[in-house]
Amino acid sequence: DTEVTQTPKHLVMGMTNKKSLKCEQHMGHRAMYWYKQKAKKPPELMFVYSYEKLSINESVPSRFSPECPNSSLLNLHLHALQPEDSALYLCASSQLWDRGSGYTQYFGPGTRLTVL
Amino acid sequence: KNQVEQSPQSLIILEGKNCTLQCNYTVSPFSNLRWYKQDTGRGPVSLTIMTFSENTKSNGRYTATLDADTKQSSLHITASQLSDSASYICVVSYSGNTPLVFGKGTRLSVIA
């Protein structure tokens, strides 16, 4: 199984809503990532988890709250988002993570988020 | 500044034709370079990965080359198919504080 799954595929939410994005992998990977991708732009790294601990937070606003409950799951909790947060949110995983990034990242299909 | 530049920005070719996409980078020290294919609204899928010592890597009809001296890479697609229509993203790793540096991608459209 070389698949990263993400749910939901699409999400529409108001600025006062609280929602969560979910990501799951069963490849035994110990590094998981959240990226944000705007249209026609490359993915932008948000968070890196290594062995279920947050290793990198790329100065992401606190209205985005990541959570890694176990080695297979990664959540992104959303609260009080702004319309400019509308984007494709990608989850990825790799066998391990180090700053040299010699490990291939496998991406999920993404969640298309629209904030009204 | 660590950057990855890709060209052309977009490309349209006829089905069955070959094409070559370019990637220039200034990332240093260099660790490895990957090419990803991303269909619209989907996550990127890894095509090839090359380290400093590798010059060529193939994956079916996709062949990537790397010249670490000039810091250039290319992705050659042979006998293009309609399903090759996607964005192709060059991604470079280095031993710095940011795991990956993404190029902006080349949008390829293959038409019948």
- Distance, CA of B21 to CA of B9 (rounded, Å): 9
Size of interface A-B (CB pairs under 8 A): 59
Q: How many CB atoms lie within 10 A of CB B56?
A: 12
**Using alpha carbons only, what angle is made at residue A26 by residues A20 and A28, rounded to the nearest 5 degrees?**
115
Those of residues 6-65 in B touching chain A at CB distance below 8 A are 31-32, 34, 36, 41-46, 49, 51
| DSSP structural state of residue A104 | P
Nearest by Cα to B7 from B89, B70, B97: B89
Band (A65; pLDDT cuts 50, 70, 90): very high
Residue A70 pLDDT greater than 60, yes or no = yes
Lowest mean pLDDT among A11-25, A68-82, B41-55: B41-55
Question: What pLDDT shows up at residue A64?
Answer: 97
Q: Answer for the pair A90, A4: CB distance below 8 angstroms, yes or no.
A: no
Residues in chain B with CB shorter than 8 Å from the CB of A10 are: none
Predicted local confidence at residue B95, as pLDDT: 63
Residues of chain B with C-beta less than 8 angstroms from the C-beta of A6: 43
- What tokens does A92 get? 């990825």
Output the pLDDT for position B99.
65
Burial-class residue A78 by CB neighbours within 10 Å (0-12, 13-18, 19+). Answer: buried
Q: What are A28-63's pLDDT values in tens digits?
A: 999 999 999 998 889 999 999 999 999 989 889 999
| 10-residue stretch averages of pLDDT, chain B, 112 residues long | 90 97 88 91 90 91 94 97 97 71 94 95
Which of A44, A90, A99 minimises the CB distance to B99? Answer: A99
Nearest to B99 among A40, A45, A91 (CB): A45
The pLDDT value given to residue B52: 81
Report whether A58 contacts A44 (CB < 8 A). yes
Res B29: pLDDT: 76
First-residue to last-residue Cα distance in chain A: 36
Q: What is the pLDDT of residue A100?
A: 53
Residue B18 carries which side chain, given as an amino acid letter? N
pLDDT of residue A1: 58
Residues of B in contact with A56 (CB under 8 A): 99
**In this complex, is the C-beta atom of A108 within 8 Å of any C-beta atom belonging to chain B?**
yes
SS3 label, residue B87: strand
Q: Closest Cα to residue A102, out of B93, B89, B101?
A: B93
Q: Cβ atoms within 10 A of the Cβ of A88, count? A: 21
- pLDDT digit string (tens) for A90-111? 999 988 887 655 678 889 999 9
* Binary contact (B94, A100; C-beta < 8 A): yes
Residues of A in contact with B98 (CB under 8 A): 45, 58
Give the pLDDT confidence score for residue B47 in this predicted structure.
94
Do the beta carbons of residue A74 and residue A65 sit within 8 Å? Answer: no
Contact between chains at A43 and B46 (C-beta distance less than 8 A): no
Ramachandran category for residue A40: left, alpha or beta (phi over 0 → left; psi -120 to 50 → alpha)? left
